[in-house]
Amino acid sequence: MCRIPDQPANGPVTFTGERYATRGVSLLLDLQLQQLLWLLIDQIPPEKRDYLPTFKLTARFDMKRGILQHIVHQQAAPPFRLEVDFPCYRPVCCNLFVIDDSNGAATMLLTEEY
């Protein structure tokens, strides 16, 4: 696994310690996209974060903006859903989990690595 630099978190509840990405995530997603996914988690207030956020990454096409990376960020409890699109040359299509182990570490992994 590759260590991802810590992002500043808003509180002590979850996702505040060491952050890791599995080999599959490191090979498939560039570092900027990984950091964006961590940032999406950080934007949820700590008291409203689930221990298992999920991301679905797909490609879209828009006549004005061209090829887009589409991200659906969800969690079960409390319910949360956010969709983000941004232009990119090589969109990634995959599903990811981010697991907080409650011991100060969080790991981003592809669903097939679970």
DSSP 76-91: TTTTEEEEEEEE-SS-
Between the CA of residue 83 and those of 4, 17, 40, 91, what are the distances in Å? Answer: 23, 26, 10, 15
Above pLDDT 90, what percent of the chain?
75
CB burial readout 2-32, b (16+ within 10 A) else e: eebeeeebeeeebbbeebbbbebbbebbeee
DSSP H helices in 22-110? 23-28, 31-42
pTM of the model as a whole: 0.85
Looking at every residue in the chain, the average pLDDT score rounds to 88
Name the more confident of 47 and 6: 47
Q: Tell me, what's the pLDDT at 65?
A: 94
Average confidence (pLDDT) over 65-74: 97
pLDDT digits (tens, 9 = 90+) for 92-102: 999 999 998 87
Q: And the tokens for 21?
A: 């990405």
Q: Taking a C-beta distance cutoff of 8 angstroms, is the pair 20, 107 a contact? A: yes
CA 53 to chain centre: 8
Q: Tell me, what's the pLDDT at 14?
A: 66
